[in-house]
């Protein structure tokens, strides 16, 4: 399921696909960060004063972030209802843990 969040000034689509925010079809973020807690908040607000959240490099207004949050929640619900998706998440988590521990 794909949800359009906004179109950038240069015409690229910012969409939520499943559990990810994409820019022009490429993964940009899997979570939204409030601008207030972003380390680069001063520069973000200077460029886009109405920015409320960041999705990777993409600044979102409160309204755009609400659309994205709802779509991400639907993607999460769909993933939790699919046994294959759950299995895949566990496999990725186990692999990350192996890499952290240096197990090959």
Q: Which tens digit of pLDDT belongs to each residue from 3-21?
A: 999 999 999 999 999 999 9
Model confidence pLDDT, tens digit, residues 20-43 = 999 999 999 999 999 999 999 999
Rg over alpha carbons for the chain, rounded to the nearest Å, is: 16
Residue 104: inside a domain, yes or no?
no
Pick from 31-35, 39-43, 77-81, 100-104: least confident: 100-104
Domain limits for position 80? 2-99
The pLDDT of residue 104 is above 80: no
34: left (phi over 0), alpha (psi -120 to 50) or beta: beta
Q: Compute the distance between CA of residue 86 and CA of residue 93 in angstroms, rounded to an integer.
A: 11
Reported confidence tier of residue 58, pLDDT bands at 50, 70, 90: very high
Residue 27: inside a domain, yes or no?
yes
How many domains, the chain? 1
| pTM of the predicted model as reported, rounded to 2 decimal places | 0.78
């Amino acid at each position: 399921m794909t949800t359009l969040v906004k179109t950038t000034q240069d015409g690229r689509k910012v969409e939520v696909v499943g559990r990810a925010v994409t820019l022009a079809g490429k993964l940009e973020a899997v979570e939204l960060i409030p601008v207030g807690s972003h380390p680069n908040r001063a520069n973000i607000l200077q460029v886009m004063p109405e920015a409320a959240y960041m999705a990777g490099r993409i600044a979102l207004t409160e309204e755009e972030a609400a659309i994205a949050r709802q779509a991400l929640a639907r993607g999460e619900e769909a993933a939790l209802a699919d046994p294959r998706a759950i299995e895949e998440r566990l496999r990725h988590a186990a692999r990350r843990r192996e890499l952290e521990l240096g197990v090959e």
